[in-house]
Each structure stands twice: as structure tokens, then as C-alpha cells.
Amino acid sequence: MNKQNEWVFLYGGQGSQLAGMGLDFACAFPEESYYSDCYCTKDELEYLLDPDFDRLDETRYVQLALTVFSLTITKVLQKMGIEADAALGLSAGEFPALALAGVYSEEAVLNIIRQRADLMARRMKQRRQDGFDDGMLVVLGLEEAELQEHLQNYPDLSLANKNSKTQMAVSGSISELELLMQEVLAAGAKRAVFLEVEGAYHSKVFTADVPDLRAVLLQEEAEEAQIDLALNILGKAARPLCRDGERSEVYADMMSRQMSNPTRLDDCFTYLLDRGYRNFIEIAPKAVLTPLLRRRDRSLNLHHIADMESFEKFLSHSLATTRR
């Protein structure tokens, strides 16, 4: 399948943020910006545009921040004539991808992500109050089947992210993760590293919150995806869904369960690469997805837009390529 001239937009999740991200785009492109009182409250705008805001790493703030940033740059790219033929977002980054694909409106996505962040923040606060110390451990050098064998000894731990064939993250209590770390290193893992995160993302910890998020999603009508959209929970695109009610139910189910299930990023990459996509733009303050793709295939055409400087560099490259 020849997709040599088609673009995939990639959206980073939590961990790719920087305070004040998007401020330069808000100033340069006010008509395309989602940094406005049409989409955000005054209080939200104060922290979204503040380069000195020191709490952006908190789930309560970062999910909306990444979504507003992603929607803004997407609209700016479209203004410049750069359209996506496929999309992939990681975790919270999946929601701007859904908007790009036309599954939900931008306003719906902003509403959903606010309530998702609130549910997750409240759950993590409750866990801390109940005496739980949760975290995430990245394991490098073992394949999924090997890691799953070790996880059988720790039923309260969850496979959280499959970022590559031999790079995965596990979520759960830090005390059990420390035991798992010793076990996988003894079994031949190259490294095992704790992430600096608020809690056990994409784990059983959030199972109790899935029905509440599903109810939020069901308030929004889902449309058929207009472009290729690889979904975290599937590792591929959803099958075409013809009936409106069926679409809304299925997307509400998938996108609520995504919160408590693993993100299958590597499988999503495989889906897109197998379909022939070669050109990728990562929209995130810090690149996370394109470095993983580069390790898979160094011949891919990979770009990262983080600020006005990288945006202008991309436009210059794109214009030069078009003139050839």
C-alpha cells in the first residue's frame, strides 16, 4: 500500500509536557488557538500559559494542557495545508487524535479530558490517603510473554505500556515493583528503571473509575473515524461501525477502559508501518514517540513540533521537499 506522501500525526501523553508550552503559538496564531476563553476558563488559561507554573506534572493539570497544545498545533498545521491521513496518540494524547479523526468534536474532547483527569487525580489522592505508594517500573530487555510470566507472581501489578518489543512499563505498588525489579534483572532484563510519576497509570487501580468515565463518554456522540486511527487498547484501528448508537457505545467502552488497561504503542506502530506510512509528525513539547519509531526504522521521515522554532523548521523542510 503506497502511502509515501501521507502524514501521520502523533500526540504525546503525560511526561512530554513543559510549563508554558503553546504560549508562542497562542500569540502567533490567535485565530487557530484553543488558548482562548471560548475553550478554557480564566483559571485554566492562567496555568496553561504560565512558563513558571510548577504543578504541570500533576495529572489534574497536565492532561488538559497537552490536549489544548495538541489541538492548537493541529489546527495551525491544517491552516498551512498540512493534513493528516492517520493519527496515533499515547494515553491522554489519544484524545486529540480522536478529535483529529473526527470521532469526537474538539469541544467534546476537552470536556472528556477534564473529567478523565479529575477522576484519575481523585483516585490517586484516595490511594495515597489509604496508605498506598504507587508507581511505574520500565523493564528493558524482556519480551511481553517473558514479562507476563513474571507478572503471574504479582496479581496486583499490571502491564501498563508496551512501547517496543523489549521495552514495557508495569504499574502498581512500589513495594511489589521493587520485588519484580529484582526478579526480572535476575532473569536477564537489561535494565529496570522507576519512572517519576504520580501513580500507577493504566492499571487495575483505575478499574473502579471506568464506569464513570464511560458515562462521560456516552454523553458525546461518536462519529466514524475519517482517517486511519490506531487505538492504544487495540494496537490497531477499530473496525468500521455503521450505526450511530453502536459507535458511541463502542468508543465509550474502549476509551474508558484505556484508563485501566495497557497502551499497546508498539502494536500501533506496527499497524501503521504495515499499512505503508512513512511520514510522521510528533506534536509534543518533548519527543517520545518519534525516538521509538527511529529505533524501528531509521529510514522513516520523522519530525517533531514542540515550539515555533521547530514548527518553522518543519515548514521550511516541507516546502523544500515539495519544490523538488
Tell me: do 112 and 255 sit in the same domain. Answer: yes
- pLDDT tens, position by position, for the chain (324 residues)? 557 679 999 999 998 999 999 999 999 999 999 999 999 999 999 999 999 999 999 999 999 999 999 999 999 999 999 999 999 999 999 999 999 999 999 999 999 999 999 999 999 999 999 999 999 999 999 999 999 999 999 999 999 999 999 999 999 999 999 999 999 999 999 999 999 999 999 999 999 999 999 999 999 999 999 999 999 999 999 887 666 678 999 999 999 999 999 999 999 999 999 999 999 999 999 999 999 999 999 999 999 999 999 999 999 887 666 444
What pLDDT does residue 246 have? 87
Tell me: do 44 and 166 sit in the same domain. Answer: no
Q: In CATH, what number is assigned to the domain containing residue 187?
A: 3.30.70.250
SS3 helix, strand, coil % of the chain, rounded to 5? 50, 20, 35
**94: how many CB neighbours lie within 10 A of its CB?**
25
What pLDDT does residue 322 have? 45
Identify which of 112, 114, 72, 115 has the alpha carbon closest to the alpha carbon of residue 222.
112
What pLDDT does residue 320 have? 60
Tell me: do 140 and 185 sit in the same domain. Answer: yes
**52: how many CB neighbours lie within 10 A of its CB?**
7
Handedness of CA 78, 255, 253, 280 (dihedral sign): positive
| Residue 9 phi, psi (nearest 5) | -95, 130
What pLDDT does residue 239 have? 81
Tell me: do 165 and 299 sit in the same domain. Answer: no
Tell me: do 152 and 256 sit in the same domain. Answer: no
Tell me: do 113 and 228 sit in the same domain. Answer: yes
What pLDDT does residue 146 have? 96
Residue 128, C-beta contacts closer than 8 angstroms, at least 6 positions apart: none
Task: Give the end of a domain, one of 158, 182, 199.
Answer: 199
Tell me: do 136 and 256 sit in the same domain. Answer: no
Task: Give the end of a domain, one of 199, 218, 233.
Answer: 199
Q: How far is CA 175 from CA 157, 182, 229, in A?
A: 11, 11, 37
Tell me: do 190 and 160 sit in the same domain. Answer: yes
d(CA 250, CA 289): 26
Tell me: do 164 and 80 sit in the same domain. Answer: no
To the question of pTM greater than 0.85 for the whole model, the response is yes
What pLDDT does residue 271 have? 97
Alpha helices in 204-302 (DSSP H): 210-218, 244-257, 265-274, 289-296
What pLDDT does residue 324 have? 41
Task: Give the end of a domain, one of 182, 199, 216.
Answer: 199
Helix, strand or coil, per DSSP, at residue 302: strand
Domain coverage including residue 185: 131-199
What pLDDT does residue 215 have? 98
